[in-house]
């Protein structure tokens, strides 16, 4: 029999054909490779959350290999001599072992914790970006709601996670969590007893939090993140307005080669940042806190930053107890149960609320500059002011201590600030937006201020304006329509000065074009370049 | 912005034509995906320009730095002394070195890739069409009718057959409950089942000490004589029962305070004016629950000058001389007072359990 000659060069082709015969992948795969993504730095905030989540999964799996989620009492015999001989739970002991006796264990623990903090921080910043640019409008309302749920899940993942080491600080957090459950009317004692398996602290809570932290919550996060990204993919990303950009197209780069490569590089940069923080900045030094003992606590007991707003609200709540016959509702119920519930559910409905208020049923794929919707910016600023006051109040004892302010004065400042600052933030931000809007219109109508003062024959001084568009017979600019995008307001933005040289490397040649936004077309003519025809 | 417009979007392209360049085939693929590649231009003048070579060198350098960082990380990981020792040792630098070397490596890779994408790859502007329109109205209609058809087949079938309706209702409800019951039922604990009830009693209840009065002890279990606490001093005490100082009895930690005579006088007057606290002090000594009535943290910061107890968690403040009434912060309820006595051997005992409920407040507290 004649042997068939194997042609190695043809092998990939044969393989690809074989795959396509079975899975019919050619057309969808090409669609994927070609998919166009718009580009803007603010679209990368959500990516930071995604990359942090990947780092969390990687480091978290490593930590489970050494952690023992048990509340059995053991005596510490490890190398950290300050705690030697101390009775502690096996969970705390294994966390100490992970920190001191596993090669690189402390590094992994700190990487996990920093990635968690970055995860929550990027979620919040990403949410603010979505909110202020109106990216949540139809058809993306559901994805906004999913995002809010992701914040809540992240919050729970964080709380269950930092409770696991069972150190002095996290045990205090668990104690407060139990008190929050107890404060729920009618069912409170039953809920707390059921979750803790009896009276606080019981013997089960670490094991239960462990399975919630490593399976249930990450499972939920993974599922919702998949849906979140799937929807972004299917509905295509929003884009800023600008030349060529319409509500029915996407202007940007194809996923391959450039866009995907940039994403990969960005992931590595985020990963590197987390690694650097994990190496250099100590986080949650559990060995300093000692094991949890119900009788011990230190001052400056603060939760992680994304829980601090709740702690702050609890601190600021006046001691108003509601008595109903023989029963009562403790004040803790309002900030911790109603407050957290409302703060994580009401925002979910904002897209529908706004659409209803504006009677807006159209599809929006173009983003809005924040200034173009002052009420929305006002509401956002109000929420942020509320969040800031609540978060700072979560550390008001530290502020009082470091700045030598009376603690009671800090509490009162928080109480008053929580009521006064949000409306103030609303008012100021709405006025700022309106002012910016007006200035945009002014420049479009009269041109850019040149800074050149001219004296007219009659002695009057005027400032010369550079019109942005055509002028009428008298030399006055014809007012331009506002396009929803940046209006150039300085002469060097319209090419009066040589463009500032920007770049990662020192300038290697004359920049190809003025570094302008798509809305600011360069004034000078551009050199003609040749189109690449090889696809190299 | 726009430099080169694609004029060939209209005419169909024969992709098997051997004269076509690869890029022309790519453009045809993009066209079929409703993408117009508006610009795809090199960032450099001509090929092999000086500028391009310089960029390539820089990217190569970044990747080399990444490699050096990676090797450094491995080196530190393997050879640097990592075992923890107390004091200033080389092992203190283990985690920082891992962090720095890994970060250098990852930044090298990351910025290398970013520079490659941003500086070396051709600039691109592509426009893809979106389709905002919903499905055609006839498609909507057909799918809607199909779903209604399914509902009719199942629903009306049941409507017409009452026996089936009843049977399904009776049959399905238990299945749902049976599925939920073991998942939730096993978790439910009755907080009021124990005697004495855990919500309303602490380790100072005689029932936990075989009916005898419970002594106040230190965390090592040793009992306390009045002389052990100096005037103006305070001490955290626990019930003198097995495991009394552990988290098993998380509601029991108590603060024993030896007041100065004038403060003690004031405290006694206030306590005796109160129904529950009457006679609970022993001499100039008073004992309050350490568990804050707000959220359960130990209210452990004792301010001797003002006779206040402060809870560091949410800053509730309690006035010791006035039955530990809350005077600031979110707490509503005073700290319960432990009825103090001294047994025949001269050690502190609790004359009874706390008369008020210890710990954070809840719905059914009497």
Q: What CATH code would you report for A39-241+253-296? A: 1.20.810.10
With a cut of 60, say whether residue A511 has pLDDT above it.
Answer: no
| Residue range(s) defining the domain that contains residue B328 | 198-350
Q: For tokens 């040589």, name the residue.
A: A498
Considering the domain boundaries, does residue B179 fall inside one?
Answer: no
- Contact between chains at B103 and A87 (C-beta distance less than 8 A): no
Range with the lowest mean pLDDT among A515-524, B186-195, B255-264, B342-351?
A515-524
Are residue B232 and residue B101 in the same domain, yes or no?
no
Chain B residues within 8 A of A197 when measuring between CB atoms? 187, 189
Chain A residues within 8 A of B196 when measuring between CB atoms? none
Q: What is the mean pLDDT of residues A364-377?
A: 95
Q: Say which of A171, A258, A508 has its CB closest to residue B55.
A: A508
Q: Please, which residues have CB within 8 angstroms of residue A479's CB and are 6 or more apart in sequence?
A: A444, A445
Residue B347, both tokens: 């050690």
From the list A41, A45, A50, A40, the residue with the least C-alpha distance to A252 is: A40
With a cut of 80, say whether residue A86 has pLDDT above it.
Answer: yes
Are residue B71 and residue B206 in the same domain, yes or no?
no
Is the omega angle on the peptide bond into residue A390 within 30 degrees of 0, that is, cis?
Answer: no
Q: Mind telling me how many Å the CA of B44 is from chain A's nearest CA?
A: 9
The backbone torsions φ and ψ at residue B167, rounded to the nearest 5 degrees and listed phi first, read -65, -40
What's the confidence (pLDDT) of residue A500?
Answer: 59
What's the confidence (pLDDT) of residue A504?
Answer: 59
Q: For tokens 């006055």, name the residue.
A: A476
Residue A322: enclosing H or E segment and its boundaries?
A: strand A322-324
> Which CATH number does the domain housing residue B287 bear?
2.102.10.10
Considering the domain boundaries, does residue B170 fall inside one?
Answer: no
From the list A480, A415, A410, A474, the residue with the least C-alpha distance to A441 is: A480
For β-strands B340-342 and B348-350, DSSP reports them as: antiparallel
Task: Return the domain boundaries, chain A.
Answer: 39-241+253-296
Question: A 493-512 residues with CB below 8 A of B?
Answer: 503-505, 508-509, 512
Q: Say which of B3, B124, B247 has its CB closest to residue A293.
A: B247
Tally Cβ neighbours within 10 Å of residue A418: 19
Q: Please tell me the distance from the alpha carbon of residue A460 to that of residue A451, in angstroms, as a whole number.
A: 16
Residue B69, both tokens: 């960082």
From the list B193, B235, B243, the residue with the least C-alpha distance to B218 is: B235
Mark which of B128, B157, B181 sits at the end of a domain.
B128
Quote the number of domains for chain B: 2
Range with the lowest mean pLDDT among A295-299, B240-244, B274-278?
A295-299
Range with the lowest mean pLDDT among A78-82, A318-322, A518-522?
A518-522
Are residue B77 and residue B213 in the same domain, yes or no?
no
- Contact between chains at A193 and B189 (C-beta distance less than 8 A): yes
Q: Please, which residues have CB within 8 angstroms of residue B177's CB and are 6 or more apart in sequence?
A: none
Q: Mind telling me how many Å the CA of B165 is from chain A's nearest CA?
A: 35
Query: Among A516, A529, A536, which would you mutate to test the B interface (most chain B Cβ atoms within 10 Å of its Cβ)?
Result: A529
Give the nearest chain A residue to B82 (CA atoms).
Answer: A103
Give whole-number Cα distances, B139 to A71, A302, A361, B133, B321, in Å: 59, 57, 22, 13, 79
Q: Please tell me the distance from the alpha carbon of residue A57 to that of residue A121, in angstroms, as a whole number.
A: 17
Q: How many CA atoms does the CB half-sphere of B58 hold within 13 Å?
A: 21
- Number of A–B residue contacts, CB under 8 Å: 346
Q: What is the mean pLDDT of residues A378-404?
A: 95
With a cut of 70, say whether residue A507 has pLDDT above it.
Answer: no
The winner for highest mean pLDDT among A388-392, A505-509, B190-194, B360-364 is A388-392
Q: What is the mean pLDDT of chain A?
A: 90
Instruction: Please state the separation of Cα A259 from the chain's center in Å.
Output: 21
Question: In B257-285, which positions are buried (b, 16+ CB within 10 angstroms) versus exposed (e)?
Answer: bbbeeebbebbbebbeeeeebeebbbebb
Give whole-number Cα distances, B132 to A248, A345, B135, B144, B161, in Å: 7, 28, 9, 20, 45
Per-residue pLDDT reduced to its tens digit, A442-455: 999 988 998 889 99
- Contact between chains at A279 and B129 (C-beta distance less than 8 A): no
B198 in contact with A, Cβ within 8 Å: yes
Considering the domain boundaries, does residue B272 fall inside one?
Answer: yes
B302 in contact with A, Cβ within 8 Å: no
What's the confidence (pLDDT) of residue A493?
Answer: 78
With a cut of 70, say whether residue A508 has pLDDT above it.
Answer: no
With a cut of 80, say whether residue A516 has pLDDT above it.
Answer: no
From the list A125, A15, A118, A105, the residue with the least C-alpha distance to A63 is: A105
Q: What is the mean pLDDT of chain B?
A: 90
Considering the domain boundaries, does residue B177 fall inside one?
Answer: no
- Contact between chains at B111 and A276 (C-beta distance less than 8 A): no
- Contact between chains at A296 and B98 (C-beta distance less than 8 A): no
- Contact between chains at A189 and B362 (C-beta distance less than 8 A): yes
Query: Among A211, A297, A411, which would you mutate to test the B interface (most chain B Cβ atoms within 10 Å of its Cβ)?
Result: A297
The winner for highest mean pLDDT among A23-27, A130-134, B245-249 is A130-134
Considering the domain boundaries, does residue B2 fall inside one?
Answer: no
B120 in contact with A, Cβ within 8 Å: no
- Label each residue of A410-467 as H, E or C: HHHHHHHHHHHHHHHHHHHHHHHHHHHHHHHHHHHHHCEEEEEEEECCCCCEEEEEEC
B46 in contact with A, Cβ within 8 Å: no
B24 in contact with A, Cβ within 8 Å: yes
- Contact between chains at A254 and B124 (C-beta distance less than 8 A): yes
Question: In A155-173, which positions are buried (b, 16+ CB within 10 angstroms) versus exposed (e)?
Answer: bbbbbbbbbbbbbbbbbbb
Q: What is the mean pLDDT of residues B87-96?
A: 92
Q: Say which of A250, A314, A319 has its CB closest to residue B130.
A: A250
Sign of the four-CA dihedral B352, B358, B361, B362:
negative
Give whole-number Cα distances, A518 to A77, A239, A487, A526, in Å: 64, 12, 11, 14
Q: Pick the residue with more confidence: B7 or A319?
A: A319
With a cut of 80, say whether residue A37 has pLDDT above it.
Answer: yes
With a cut of 50, say whether residue A67 has pLDDT above it.
Answer: yes
Q: Please tell me the distance from the alpha carbon of residue B75 to that of residue B96, in angstroms, as a whole number.
A: 14
A255 in contact with B, Cβ within 8 Å: no
Degrees to nearest 5, angle at CA A128 with A122 and A134: 135
Interface ipTM > 0.85:
yes
3-state secondary structure of A501: coil
What's the confidence (pLDDT) of residue A533?
Answer: 56
Q: What is the mean pLDDT of residues B137-152?
A: 93
Question: A 81-100 residues with CB below 8 A of B?
Answer: 81-82, 87, 99-100
Chain B residues within 8 A of A243 when measuring between CB atoms? 1
Residue B263, both tokens: 């403060």
Q: What is the mean pLDDT of residues B250-261?
A: 93
Give the nearest chain B residue to A331 (CA atoms).
Answer: B330
Q: For tokens 């923890």, name the residue.
A: B84
What's the confidence (pLDDT) of residue A519?
Answer: 46
Q: Mind telling me how many Å the CA of B156 is from chain A's nearest CA?
A: 33
Q: Please tell me the distance from the alpha carbon of residue A171 to that of residue A158, in angstroms, as a whole number.
A: 14
Q: Please tell me the distance from the alpha carbon of residue A34 to that of residue A29, in angstroms, as a whole number.
A: 9
Q: Please tell me the distance from the alpha carbon of residue B265 to that of residue B262, in angstroms, as a whole number.
A: 5
With a cut of 80, say whether residue A169 has pLDDT above it.
Answer: yes
């Amino acid at each position: 029999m004649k042997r068939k000659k194997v042609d190695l060069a043809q092998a990939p082709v044969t393989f690809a054909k074989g795959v396509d015969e079975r899975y019919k992948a050619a057309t969808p795969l090409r669609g994927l490779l070609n998919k166009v993504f718009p580009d803007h730095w603010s679209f990368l905030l959500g990516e930071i959350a995604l990359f942090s989540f990947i780092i969390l999964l990687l480091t978290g799996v490593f930590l489970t290999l050494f952690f023992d989620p048990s509340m059995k009492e053991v005596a510490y015999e490890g190398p950290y001599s300050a705690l030697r001989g101390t009775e502690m739970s096996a969970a705390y002991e294994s966390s100490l072992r992970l920190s001191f006796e596993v090669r690189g264990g402390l590094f992994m623990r700190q990487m996990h914790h920093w990635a968690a903090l970055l995860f929550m921080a990027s979620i919040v910043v990403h949410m603010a970006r979505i909110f202020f640019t109106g990216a949540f409008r139809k058809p993306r309302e559901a994805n906004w709601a999913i995002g809010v749920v992701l914040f809540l899940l992240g919050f729970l993942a964080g709380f269950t996670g930092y409770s696991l080491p069972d150190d002095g600080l996290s045990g205090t957090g668990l104690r407060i969590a139990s008190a929050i459950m107890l404060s729920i009317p009618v069912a409170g004692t039953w809920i707390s007893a059921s979750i803790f398996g009896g009276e606080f602290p019981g013997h089960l809570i670490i094991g239960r939090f462990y399975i919630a932290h490593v399976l249930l919550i990450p499972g939920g996060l993974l599922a919702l993140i998949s849906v979140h990204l799937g929807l972004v993919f299917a509905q295509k990303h929003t884009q800023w307005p600008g030349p060529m950009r319409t509500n029915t197209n996407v202007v940007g780069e194809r996923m391959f080669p450039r866009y995907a490569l940039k994403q990969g590089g960005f992931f590595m940069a985020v990963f590197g940042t987390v690694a650097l923080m994990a190496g250099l900045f100590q986080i949650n030094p559990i060995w300093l806190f000692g094991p949890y003992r119900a009788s011990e606590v230190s001052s400056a007991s603060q939760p992680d930053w994304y829980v601090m707003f709740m702690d702050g609200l609890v601190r600021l709540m006046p001691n108003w107890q509601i008595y109903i016959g023989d029963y009562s509702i403790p004040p803790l119920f309002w900030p911790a149960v109603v407050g957290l519930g409302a703060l994580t559910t009401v925002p979910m409905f904002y897209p529908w609320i706004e659409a209803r208020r504006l009677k807006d049923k159209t599809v929006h794929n173009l983003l809005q500059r924040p200034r173009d919707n002052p009420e929305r910016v006002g509401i956002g600023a109000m929420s942020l002011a509320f969040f800031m006051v609540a978060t700072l109040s979560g550390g008001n004892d530290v502020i009082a201590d470091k700045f030598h302010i009376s603690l009671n004065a800090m509490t009162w400042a928080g109480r008053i600030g929580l009521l006064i600052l949000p409306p103030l933030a609303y008012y100021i931000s709405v006025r700022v937006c309106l002012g910016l809007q007006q200035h945009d219109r002014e420049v479009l109508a009269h041109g850019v201020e040149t800074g050149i003062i001219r004296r007219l024959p009659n002695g009057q001084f005027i400032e010369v304006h550079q019109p942005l568009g055509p002028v009428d017979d008298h030399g006055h600019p014809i007012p331009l329509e506002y396009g929803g995008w940046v209006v150039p307001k300085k002469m060097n933005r319209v090419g009066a000065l040589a463009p500032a040289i920007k770049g990662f490397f020192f300038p290697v040649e004359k920049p190809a074009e003025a570094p302008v936004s798509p809305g600011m077309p360069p004034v000078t003519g551009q050199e003609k370049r040749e189109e690449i025809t090889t696809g190299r | 912005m726009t430099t080169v417009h694609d004029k060939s979007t209209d005419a169909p392209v024969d992709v098997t034509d051997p004269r076509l360049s690869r890029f022309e085939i790519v453009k045809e693929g993009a066209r079929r995906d409703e993408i117009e590649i508006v610009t795809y231009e090199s960032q450099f003048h001509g090929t092999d320009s000086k500028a391009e070579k310089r960029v390539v060198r820089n990217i190569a350098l970044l990747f080399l730095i990444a490699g050096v960082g990676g090797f450094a990380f491995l080196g530190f990981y393997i050879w640097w002394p990592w075992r923890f020792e107390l004091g200033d040792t080389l092992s203190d630098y283990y985690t920082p070195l891992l962090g720095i070397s890994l970060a250098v490596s990852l930044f090298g890779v990351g910025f290398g890739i970013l520079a490659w994408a941003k500086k070396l790859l051709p600039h691109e502007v592509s426009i893809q069409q979106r389709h905002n329109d919903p499905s055609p109205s006839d498609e909507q209609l057909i799918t809607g009718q199909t779903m209604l058809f399914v509902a009719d087949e199942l629903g009306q079938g049941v409507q017409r057959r009452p026996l089936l309706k009843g049977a399904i209702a009776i049959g399905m409800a238990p299945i749902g409950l049976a599925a939920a019951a073991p998942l939730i039922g096993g978790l439910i604990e009755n907080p009021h089942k124990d005697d004495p009830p855990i919500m309303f009693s602490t380790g100072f209840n005689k029932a936990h000490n075989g009916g005898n009065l419970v002594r106040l002890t230190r965390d090592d279990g040793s009992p306390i004589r009045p002389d052990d606490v100096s005037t103006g001093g305070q001490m955290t005490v626990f019930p003198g029962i097995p495991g009394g100082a552990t988290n098993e009895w998380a509601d029991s930690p108590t603060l024993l305070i030896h007041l100065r005579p004038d403060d003690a006088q004031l405290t006694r007057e206030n306590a005796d004016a109160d129904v529950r606290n009457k006679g609970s002090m022993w001499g100039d000594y008073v004992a309050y629950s350490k568990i804050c009535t707000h959220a359960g943290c130990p209210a452990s910061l004792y301010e001797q000058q003002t006779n206040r107890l402060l809870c560091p968690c949410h800053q509730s403040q309690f006035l010791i001389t006035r039955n530990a009434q809350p005077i600031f912060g979110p707490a509503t309820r005073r700290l319960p007072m432990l009825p103090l006595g001294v047994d025949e051997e001269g050690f502190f005992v609790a004359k009874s359990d706390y008369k008020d409920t210890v710990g954070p407040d809840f719905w059914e507290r009497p």
